[in-house]
Amino acid sequence: MFIEGKNAVLQALESDRTINKIFIDKNYQTRKDDVIHLSVQKKVKIEYLPKVALDKKSKTGRHQGYIADAVDFVYCQLDDILACAKERGEKPFIIMLDGIEDPHNLGAIVRSCECGGVHGIVLSKNRSVQVNETVVRTSTGAINNMNIARVNNLKEAVDFFRENDIWVYAAEAGGESIYNKKLDGGVAVIIGSEGFGVKKSLQSYCDGVISLPLKGKVNSLNASVACGVIVFEILRQREQRSCK
């Protein structure tokens, strides 16, 4: 997998991600550069190439002179998400995604979740985008600090979280306002696909449905925007509880 862009490459170097080689614009060879410095420090091989060669390697067209050849993203297990929460001394905070197909949306969701203190994201293996170069770039490096699990069936994940005293809610229209719902304990929220939302069968399987009140004529938000609002409302409630 190629990781492209200076910030994304730097974040990958700072994480535990295994990087085989870094390709850098040869015009940057004499720079005092964080990427070059950290690559040398971590003994990651650097190959300096002309920009035209980097352009040919690039899959996003936005490499900024930096491309890392890294091992493919390693997905975690559901247990790892709970272990992360325990290590931080916090109640589990999980986002589950039902049928998100746009890699830009997934990347933006990962970024919001990482910034908002989410312990892990759960994807379905089928009918859902997986972590690829576009997701990595759109997350601006947040992907390196986020637990992401893949499951065959989201209902199985719901059962697993319930067994571990975590309430699971579907984010969908027609439910209880998120601003009226107590969400400062162990919680998992399912965000639906861009076009179809959370499947009806999955909604009915959850502990409830929560909604964002919308005041405009458009009756839905982009999935990544909705996820961001939900994540930070839950974070607000958790922060408020910790101050009491």
> What is the tens place of the pLDDT at every residue in 181-192?
999 999 999 999
Exposure letters 26-42 (e unless 16+ CB within 10 A, then b): eeeeeeebebbebbeee
Bridge partners (DSSP) listed for residue 191? 97, 171
CATH superfamily of 2-70: Ribosomal protein L30/S12 (3.30.1330.30)
Residues of the chain with pLDDT under 70: 244
Residue linked to tokens 């390697």: 57
> Whole-angstrom Cα distance, residue 136 to residue 142?
8
User: Where do the structural domains in the chain lie, given as residue ranges?
Assistant: 2-70, 78-243
**What pairs with residue 3 in β-bridges?**
68
**How, if at all, do strands 167-177 and 187-192 pair?**
parallel
First to last CA, the chain: 45
Question: What does the alpha-carbon distance between residue 34 and residue 19 come to, in Å, rounded to a whole number?
Answer: 16
For position 244, what pLDDT does the model report? Answer: 64
Look up tokens 């101050």; give the residue.
243
Instruction: Give the tokens for residue 220.
Output: 């839905």
Per residue in 33-80, pLDDT (tens digit) is 899 999 999 999 999 999 999 999 998 888 999 999 998 888 999 999
Of 95, 166, 146, the closest CA to residue 124 belongs to 95
Q: In the block, which residue shows the tokens 């910790």? A: 242
CATH class of the region 78-243: alpha beta
| Residues 107, 222 contacting (CB under 8 angstroms) | no
**Encoding tokens for residue 20?**
């085989």
**pTM of the predicted protein model:** 0.84
DSSP secondary structure string for all residues of 142-153? GGGG--EEEES-
- The answer to whether 167 touches 187, Cβ cutoff 8 Å, is yes
Instruction: Tell me the C-alpha distance between 36 and 57, whole Å.
Output: 19
Q: Which two tokens stand for residue 240?
A: 């408020």
Could you give the residue ranges of the DSSP H alpha helices within 15-68?
A: 34-41, 51-57
Q: Tokens for 107? A: 């990347």
Distance of CA 216 to the CA centre of its chain: 28
